[in-house]
Chains A and B, each alone.
Chain A
Amino acid sequence: MGKFWSILFLLVPILGIALFFWAPSAGYWLPRDISTHGHQIDHLFNFILVLTGLVFAATEFCLFWFLWRYDAASNREPVKYTHGSHNLEVIWTILPAATLLFIAIYQMNAWADVKMRMPKDLPPTLEVTARQFEWRLRYPGPDGKLGTIDDIHHVNDMHIPFDEEVLVELKSMDVLHDLFLPHLRVKQDAVPGMTIPVWFRAKDVGTYDLVCAELCGWGHYKMKGRVTIETRAEYEKWLEQMAAAQSATQEPPKAEE
């Protein structure tokens, strides 16, 4: 019976690792990265995946081997009567410590890029105000300034210029929300009473999902937006259309519940 259980535990690393080889090929993997900073995140993900994968394989295989080898039913030699080994303890304290410290330092730069090194004196492209359960977008109007009467208001359908540093001022009107752009590797909570800067640069055009990733009430699941990345020209054309449409009806678009 011991052998049977050993095999069961052997299946854990085998299937576990096999699955991570199968998944990407089957199309279950990180969504295509279309941001300029994303590769750092994806690289770290894969790096840690490989590293922990090795640890995982090693430890789980040891577990299996000891189970297989030292099954009382088949193991003839006497029990190794020992209370531990000082040297081993030192080794397996130092090694993981070093590994972990390395990961810690190795990632700092990426983190700084994503959340700390805000591009200098870059005017906000737009202001996003989250609200149960929609995304209110506010673009500077013809005067090119935010917070003036000619601002362009829009809901849920975000447009941003291609291959330009985009700065979003993230706010919330009511509860916590989270601006999640899977393909742009962007995630940031929107906190009422705070204005949080979010910046990124898209390196491909197209239309993608904008997800709310922080529980914000019963409608959390349907707080869906779209982000369209387009060339400067298209982007400006769109802005003009919006401006025109708005001056036609001087009302900012009402939110549909």
Chain B
Amino acid sequence: MSSTTFGGHAHEAEHAHGHEHTASFLRTYVFSLDHKVIGLQFLFSTLLWFAVGGLLALAVRWQLAWPWSNMPLVGARLFAGEGGQISPEFYTMLFTMHASIMIFFVIIPILAGAFGNFLIPLMIGADDMAFPTLNMLSYWFMWPAFVCMIISFFVPGGAAAAGWTGYPPLSAVDSAAPASLTGQTYWLIGLIFVGISSMMGSVNYMTTIIQMRAPGMTMFRLPMTIWGMFITAILQAFALPVLTAALFMQLLDRVLHTGFFVPEGLIVNNATAGAGGGQPLLWQHLFWFYSHPAVYIMILPAMGMVSDMISCFARKPLFGYKPMVYSIAGIAGLGFIVWGHHMFMSGMNPALGMTFMVSTMMIALPSAIKTFNWLGTIWGGKLQFTTPMLFALSFVSMFIIGGLSGVFMAATPVDVFIHDTYFIVAHIHYVLFGGTAFGVFGGIYFWFPKMFGRMMNEFWGKIHFFLSFIFFNGTFYLMHILGAGGFPRRLADPYHYETFAHLLALNRFITICALGMGAAQIIFAANLIYSIFLGPRCGRNPWHANSLEWFAPSPPGHGNFDAQPIVYRGPYEYGSPEVEIDYYPQTQPPPEGAVALAPAH
């Protein structure tokens, strides 16, 4: 029955949208209901934020390499007050906003928002999302968040400065952090909006994937990308409301001076503060109940995209499709019972810590399975070293490092020493930048032809990859060594401790590499913008890939498909003996007479 009802949406979208030529500019490009346009809106917004977050990071690096020294060029203009230097308040603000922006405005929205929006309907063979209006809203709810974050930089006291984890009481009691009076409040409001946007998105994605798959597209014929998006949507749906609740409570603590997270009899700056009676650890539990699943929200879609790219450019079926699916589900499931591993040193009951340690160890398992299956996929293939492939491979390579460092921290006694040191910072960046961000770069190079009907420049793409790869490792690998030295994170100037003074040299090197990495991203930006307008045009299926999006025109018109896609097989039938060519699109009917052998998986 319901297959008919979708007509409603196609229809609605149609009217809202009008036909390409008659449609008003606003309707087509700004308040568009078309999932492709919305996806691109997300893509460009997040890339711009990536630049902002990155530049903040570079400022962080500057301070760590040349503490309390004038910053070249921008310094004099930015901090005239401190004579061109970064002030300690400003430093706290820098890494807080760096992380908040990178996580909530770059990685999460670029995966779910940009790729999720663009790819889900195309890859499952739908003409749009189940709820186009809701989809548009999910983008426009990001804007209040954007605005909050931007003005928070200009309010007295500056933007939030309590770390991206916003631990109370520091974050909840104004007098505790002079550097963020209203800034923290804007931060909270901003995040609440991001949350609402993600909620709309995730529920929409789940409905779309469950209900709007093309005929023959069974759940186990979905590309890994879609599985990644689907499981991520589920994680969002169940974890995010908890964060939203916590954010509201911290907001109340700040503006109404309730005492959810503020304990009794607090004395800040020699003055008693607020109502009290609450529990600071409660926030940490609520925050990590979301934010640990969030770290998987930040990598599962990338894992999916990488699986697709690797299989495509190895010209070989994905090794162990079902184990791959189950391990994603496993990560999601376990992801809900490991949040305590961020709180080993927090004063939480150590016995509880031990149980969290065990579950955390276990969550390495599904990731192991995925890693080995990726290796299995490239084994015995015919590898094509295109830019997307290189980024996909570097995802695997870097994720292994980041994941293994996770095992150190999961070991509670070791965490006693490395907690809140640069070992953590190394871990963060290996999984988030070396992992997700590289996967995202790959995804952009891979689906760019579908997005714009043109190819990105391969040569400059490879340069971009090479520089990013070198400088990335130059920047973050050494942080493991810093961490082993006990070098604490979030310190504006660690060098006045005799224990850490000798680490300045390493930090200088790291900063230089970081600057290099920033420069490398400019190449990417240039290549991206150039190729959008002047890249060589391409056909429907430049990579000879199997999944449905390549069956649609590039770029797909309104309604995506010019013919009804019907799915005959899984998305990874590369090098199948059934056909001469080395790929076998999901939509291609089996040759006459050939017994359609069901894929082994």
CB-CB nearest in chain B for A219: B88
Contact across chains for B506 and A28 when beta carbons are under 8 A apart: yes
Cross-chain contact of A28 among B369, B384, B503, B572 (Cβ < 8 A):
B503
> B397 contacts which chain A residues (CB < 8 A)?
9, 12, 60, 63
Q: Does A147 contact B (CB under 8 A)?
A: no
How far, in angstroms, from A209 to B87 measured CA to CA in the complex?
Answer: 24
Q: Does A244 contact B (CB under 8 A)?
A: no
> B412 contacts which chain A residues (CB < 8 A)?
107, 111, 115
- Selected interface stretch from B111-119, B171-179, B300-308: B171-179
Given contact pairs A31-B485, A52-B408, A82 touches B319 in the complex (Cβ within 8 A): yes
Cross-chain contact of A103 among B280, B317, B411 (Cβ < 8 A):
B411
Contact across chains for A216 and B378 when beta carbons are under 8 A apart: no
CB distance from A174 to the nearest CB of B (A): 4
> A203 contacts which chain B residues (CB < 8 A)?
none
Q: Does B599 contact A (CB under 8 A)?
A: yes
Interface string of A85-107 (1 = CB under 8 A from B): 10011001100110011011001
Cross-chain contact of A19 among B279, B408, B481 (Cβ < 8 A):
B481
Cross-chain contact of A215 among B162, B321, B408 (Cβ < 8 A):
B162
Contact across chains for B420 and A70 when beta carbons are under 8 A apart: no
> B485 contacts which chain A residues (CB < 8 A)?
28-31
CB distance from A27 to the nearest CB of B (A): 7
CB-CB nearest in chain B for A118: B350
Q: List A residues 163-181 near B (Cβ within 8 Å).
A: 173-176, 178, 180
Contact across chains for A72 and B384 when beta carbons are under 8 A apart: yes
> A75 contacts which chain B residues (CB < 8 A)?
382-383
CB distance from B473 to the nearest CB of A (A): 7
> A16 contacts which chain B residues (CB < 8 A)?
401, 477
> A186 contacts which chain B residues (CB < 8 A)?
416
Q: Does B155 contact A (CB under 8 A)?
A: no
Contact across chains for B361 and A104 when beta carbons are under 8 A apart: yes
Cross-chain contact of A220 among B404, B491, B582 (Cβ < 8 A):
B491
Contact across chains for A48 and B170 when beta carbons are under 8 A apart: no
- Selected interface stretch from A39-47, A119-127, A154-162, A231-239: A39-47
Interface string of B260-298 (1 = CB under 8 A from A): 000111111100010000011100000000000000000
Q: Does B372 contact A (CB under 8 A)?
A: yes
> B89 contacts which chain A residues (CB < 8 A)?
218
Q: List B residues 354-382 near A (Cβ within 8 Å).
A: 354, 357-358, 361-362, 364-365, 368-369, 371-373, 375-376, 378-382
CB-CB nearest in chain A for B179: A218
CB distance from B252 to the nearest CB of A (A): 18
Contact across chains for B170 and A216 when beta carbons are under 8 A apart: yes
Given contact pairs A19-B481, A208-B499, A209-B498, A174 touches B267 in the complex (Cβ within 8 A): yes
CB-CB nearest in chain B for A191: B347
Cross-chain contact of A185 among B383, B416, B480 (Cβ < 8 A):
B416
> A221 contacts which chain B residues (CB < 8 A)?
88, 91, 491-494
Q: List A residues 47-91 near B (Cβ within 8 Å).
A: 48-49, 52, 55-56, 59-60, 62-63, 66-67, 70-72, 75, 78-85, 88-89
Interface string of B232-258 (1 = CB under 8 A from A): 000000000000000000000000000
Given contact pairs A84-B321, A183-B499, A114 touches B416 in the complex (Cβ within 8 A): yes
> A217 contacts which chain B residues (CB < 8 A)?
92, 170, 176-179
Contact across chains for A132 and B269 when beta carbons are under 8 A apart: yes
CB distance from B242 to the nearest CB of A (A): 21
CB distance from A176 to the nearest CB of B (A): 6
> B416 contacts which chain A residues (CB < 8 A)?
41, 114-115, 185-187
Interface string of B38-51 (1 = CB under 8 A from A): 00000000000000
Given contact pairs A115-B353, A175-B169, A193-B279, A103 touches B407 in the complex (Cβ within 8 A): yes
CB-CB nearest in chain B for A43: B413
> A5 contacts which chain B residues (CB < 8 A)?
385, 390, 393
How far, in angstroms, from A40 to B267 measured CA to CA in the complex?
Answer: 38
Q: Does B448 contact A (CB under 8 A)?
A: no
Contact across chains for A100 and B361 when beta carbons are under 8 A apart: yes
How far, in angstroms, from A59 to B374 measured CA to CA in the complex?
Answer: 11
> A192 contacts which chain B residues (CB < 8 A)?
169, 263, 266, 280
Cross-chain contact of A104 among B264, B267, B357, B498 (Cβ < 8 A):
B357
How far, in angstroms, from A92 to B320 measured CA to CA in the complex?
Answer: 12
CB distance from B63 to the nearest CB of A (A): 10
Contact across chains for A220 and B393 when beta carbons are under 8 A apart: no
How far, in angstroms, from A196 to B349 measured CA to CA in the complex?
Answer: 10
Contact across chains for B575 and A78 when beta carbons are under 8 A apart: yes
Q: Does A141 contact B (CB under 8 A)?
A: no
Contact across chains for A27 and B372 when beta carbons are under 8 A apart: no
CB-CB nearest in chain B for A27: B502
Q: Does B396 contact A (CB under 8 A)?
A: yes
Given contact pairs A45-B417, A183-B499, A218-B89, A63 touches B384 in the complex (Cβ within 8 A): no
How far, in angstroms, from A72 to B378 measured CA to CA in the complex?
Answer: 11
How far, in angstroms, from A55 to B408 measured CA to CA in the complex?
Answer: 13
How far, in angstroms, from A89 to B161 measured CA to CA in the complex?
Answer: 46
Q: Does B154 contact A (CB under 8 A)?
A: no
> A187 contacts which chain B residues (CB < 8 A)?
345, 416-417, 419-420
CB-CB nearest in chain B for A177: B170
> B390 contacts which chain A residues (CB < 8 A)?
5
> A66 contacts which chain B residues (CB < 8 A)?
375, 378-379, 381, 383
How far, in angstroms, from A2 to B365 measured CA to CA in the complex?
Answer: 31
Contact across chains for A12 and B473 when beta carbons are under 8 A apart: yes
Q: Does B496 contact A (CB under 8 A)?
A: yes
How far, in angstroms, from A100 to B553 measured CA to CA in the complex?
Answer: 47
Q: Does B577 contact A (CB under 8 A)?
A: yes
> B417 contacts which chain A residues (CB < 8 A)?
30, 41, 45, 182, 185, 187
> B496 contacts which chain A residues (CB < 8 A)?
222, 224
Cross-chain contact of A44 among B322, B405, B413 (Cβ < 8 A):
B413
Contact across chains for A70 and B170 when beta carbons are under 8 A apart: no
8 new A-B contacts, CB < 8 A, other than A89-B369, A180-B420, are: A9-B393, A28-B503, A60-B397, A80-B379, A81-B575, A111-B350, A183-B499, A187-B345
Instruction: Give the 8 A-B residue pairs with the shortest CB-CB distance, closest first.
Output: A193-B263, A80-B380, A84-B320, A79-B575, A115-B350, A72-B382, A110-B413, A83-B600
Chain A residues close to B by CB (< 8 Å): 1-2, 5, 8-9, 12, 15-16, 19-20, 23, 27-31, 40-41, 44-45, 48-49, 52, 55-56, 59-60, 62-63, 66-67, 70-72, 75, 78-85, 88-89, 92-93, 96-97, 100-101, 103-104, 107-108, 110-112, 114-116, 131-132, 173-176, 178, 180, 182-183, 185-189, 191-194, 196, 208-209, 211, 213-222, 224
Identify 9 residue pairs between A and B in the complex whose beta-carbon atoms are under 8 Å apart, listed by A's number.
A2-B385, A28-B484, A70-B314, A84-B600, A100-B407, A193-B280, A211-B497, A221-B494, A222-B493
Chain B residues close to A by CB (< 8 Å): 87-89, 91-92, 161-163, 167-170, 173, 176-179, 263-269, 273, 279-281, 314-323, 345-347, 350-351, 353-354, 357-358, 361-362, 364-365, 368-369, 371-373, 375-376, 378-385, 390, 393-394, 396-397, 400-401, 404-405, 407-408, 411-414, 416-421, 466, 469, 473, 477-478, 480-482, 484-486, 488, 490-494, 496-499, 502-503, 506, 572, 574-577, 582, 599-601
